[in-house]
Amino acid sequence: MSKKAILYIVFFSVLSLGFLGYAGYVIKGERGTFLGKEKLPILGAPGHTVQGFSFTDQDGRTKTKADVLGKIYVAEYFFTTCTGICPKMNANMEKVYAKYKNKPDFLILSHTVDPEHDSVPVLKAYAEKHGADSKNWWFLTGSKKELYALARQGYLVDDGTYTGEEDFVHTQWFALVDKTGQIRGLYEGTKLQDVNKLIDDIERLMEE
């Protein structure tokens, strides 16, 4: 083989390796890994993140947005006297909790939609019923208007608008939130298939 042919082979080999390296870099940036594993979508309008909040958990401690920054978490809405979708939702949420309760960067936030009834002691008893440790599964109460605004404008789990004290949010959706406050998925908490997907997506998000 001539020296010229060898030089051509070397040149095109280097060129091909460079192209593959660049393609891998692009794939990693767009999809999350060199092998092309897709990143989870970012929901909401461009730049949307969960707004600030201040609620009280089942131990009477104040929880704010600062307490969830840097954490991956799942948010839901329920009320303790619900006999419809809530028991099934929280039975399914127990599956999520069992999978990730030992992960230091993971939380569950369960917001009451009936703060008038769901006092701190009521939420404490409800949390204990579900085996929830307050270090990483918070049952939250607070201002009804603020709770509802967060559901609709922050977590995107309800498409209504606040209409006053008679207003009521009753939603089956779980929201998956990343470490920067972006919504990365919505899942029907009453459907096991959706909950299993949520469990898988949490793992994917932890790998991003």
Indicate the domain borders of the chain: 1-36, 54-207
Confidence grade of residue 163 (pLDDT, cut at 50, 70, 90): confident
State percent of the chain over pLDDT 90.
Answer: 76
State whether residue 10 is helix, strand or coil. helix
Consult the annotation and say whether 86 binds a ligand: yes
Consult the annotation and say whether 82 binds a ligand: yes
Please give the Cα distance from 188 to 108 (Å, whole number): 15
Query: Domain 54-207 in CATH: superfamily?
Result: Glutaredoxin (3.40.30.10)
* Residue 180 and residue 49 in contact, taking contact as beta carbons nearer than 8 Å: yes
- Residues 107-136: tens digit of each pLDDT: 999 999 999 999 999 999 999 999 999 999
